[in-house]
Amino acid sequence: MAETVIRMENVTKVYKIGQSEVHALRGITFSVKQGEFVSIMGPSGSGKSTCMNMIGCLDRPSGGIVEINGTETAKMTEKELASLRNRTIGFVFQQYHLLPGMTVLENVMLPLRYQGIEKPERVRLAKEVLERVEMENRLSHRPSELSGGQKQRVAIARAMVTKPHIILADEPTGALDSKTGLQVLNLFREINSAGTTIVIVTHDGGIGASANRCIRIFDGNIQSDEEQIPVMPFYAMAEENA
Ligand SMILES: Nc1ncnc2c1ncn2[C@@H]1O[C@H](COP(=O)(O)OP(=O)(O)O)[C@@H](O)[C@H]1O
Ligand SMILES: [Mg+2]
């Protein structure tokens, strides 16, 4: 039996803006086991990003329990949380969040610096993952010199370089055309088959359907949580037939 890497129990999040309150999460409960490929789907404003921020310990819940690798995050110090974010979790965002003043290689080396790894080893590890995402021939480029799909591949390499147990991706294909989005999705599938747990937020039905499990969120509540047989998105079939 695979072990539980993410456990959310009755998690709530209330944002307070002046006098008004936004109930972004109204009591979310689910667990994710090592090696799963889960999609979180739901309309804009339903709480998907808030949910990801809770899993990734980028923000604290208003109530409930968030457990990562068996440890309750509320009981961890800021330093322990920073280490968890750096070593256990890799993040991928819609807008890539690459540092514009750094080269591709430097961007991917950066997370390793916080681990105190010596430079030659940082270079070696970064080149290794950049090869896996087929970006090894763009090492000295700046992010502004890359296409959207290339930027996202670099961002994925940066998320993978620390060999995290979990990759969290919030709308990773949201800024890409469907063909490039599919290439990014295939990359996630490849990373997942090597054992990394993946949680991906998307409102692309094709991408959601290609996950092994789909959690649907509506207005801060889980509407459904179902195992599914992954189907290939239609544009993948179109490409195969071409
Ligand atoms: N930092 C914030 N401060 C105040 N309200 C927020 C904040 N982040 C999100 N919200 C609100 O919480 C709700 C859920 O947002 P979000 O989790 O970003 O949804 P989604 O990612 O599904 O589009 C929305 O009503 C949004 O306006
Ligand atoms: Mg969002």
Q: What are the pLDDT digits (tens) for 169-187?
A: 999 999 999 888 988 999 9
Domain annotation covers residue 22: no
Two tokens, residue 65: 């329990």
Neighbours of ion ligand 2 (CB under 5 A): 48-49
Establish if 107 belongs to a structural domain: yes
Q: How confident is the model at residue 217 (pLDDT cuts 50, 70, 90)?
A: very high
44 lines ligand 1 (CB under 6 A): yes
pLDDT in the model for residue 233: 62
Residue 151 belongs to domain spanning: 94-163
**What is the mean predicted confidence (pLDDT) over 21-41?**
97
34 Cα to the center of ligand 1, angstroms? 28
Give the DSSP letter of residue 114. Answer: T
User: Whose C-alpha lies nearest to ligand 1, atom 27?
Assistant: 45
How much is the pLDDT for 230?
A: 84
Least Cα distance to 48 among 234, 204, 241, 230 occurs for 204
Q: How far is the CA of 119 from the centre of ligand 2 (A)?
A: 35
Residue 235 lies in a domain: no
Query: Amino acid identity of 208?
Result: G
Answer yes or no: is 155 within a domain: yes
User: Using CA atoms, how far apart are residues 51 and 71, in angstroms rounded to an integer?
Assistant: 18
pLDDT band of residue 20 (cuts 50, 70, 90) is very high
Is residue 197 domain-resident?
A: no
Going by pLDDT thresholds of 50, 70 and 90, the confidence category of residue 54 is very high
Residue 102: inside a domain, yes or no? yes
Please state the atom number of ligand 1 nearest to the C-alpha of residue 13: 12
Structural domain contains residue 114: yes
Q: Which amino acid is at 232?
A: M
43 lines ligand 1 (CB under 6 A): no
Q: What is the pLDDT of residue 238?
A: 55
Identify the band that residue 209 occupies on the pLDDT scale cut at 50, 70 and 90: confident
Look up residue 109 and give its amino acid: M
Question: What is the count of structural domains for the chain?
Answer: 1
Q: Report d(CA 12, CA 25) in Å as an integer.
A: 5
Q: Report the half-sphere exposure of 175 (CA within 13 A, side-chain side).
A: 16
Tens digits of residue pLDDT in 82-129: 999 999 999 999 999 999 999 999 999 999 998 889 999 999 999 999
Report the alpha-carbon distance of residue 205 to residue 211 in Å, rounded: 10
Mean pLDDT of 72-76: 93
Q: Whose CA is nearest to atom 20 of ligand 1?
A: 45
- Is 120 within the bounds of a domain? yes
pLDDT score at 62? 97
